[in-house]
Amino acid sequence: MTNDQWVVIGYGNTLRRDDGVGQVVAMRVQEWGCLGVRSLSRHQLTPELAQTLATVEGAIFVDAYPVSGETATVQVFPLRSEDADTISVGHHCDPRSLLALAQALYDHSPSAWLVTIPAVDFEFGETLSPIAQQGVTDALLHIHRLLAIQAESPTQLSSGCTEMGQQGQQGQQGQQGQQGEIGEMVS
Helices (H), 33-186: 49-53, 95-106, 130-150, 159-173, 176-179, 182-186
161 pLDDT higher than 80: no
pLDDT at 2: 52
pLDDT in tens, 80-110: 877 655 565 555 688 999 999 999 999 999 9
pLDDT at 149: 80
pLDDT at 165: 44
Secondary structure class of 120 (helix, strand, coil): coil
pLDDT at 51: 96
pLDDT at 72: 85
Helical pair 21-32 and 130-150, crossing angle rounded to 10 deg: 50
The dihedrals phi and psi of 6, each to the nearest 5 degrees, come to: -135, 150
pLDDT in tens, 58-79: 999 999 999 987 778 999 999 9
pLDDT at 152: 58
Mean pLDDT of the chain: 81
Name the pLDDT band for 8 (thresholds 50, 70, 90).
very high
With a pLDDT cut of 90, the percent of the chain lying above it is: 64
Residue 66 to residues 4, 19, 158, Cα–Cα distance (Å):
32, 9, 33
Q: Which residue has the higher pLDDT, 158 or 149?
A: 149
Both ends of the chain: CA-CA distance in Å?
A: 27
Name the pLDDT band for 3 (thresholds 50, 70, 90).
low
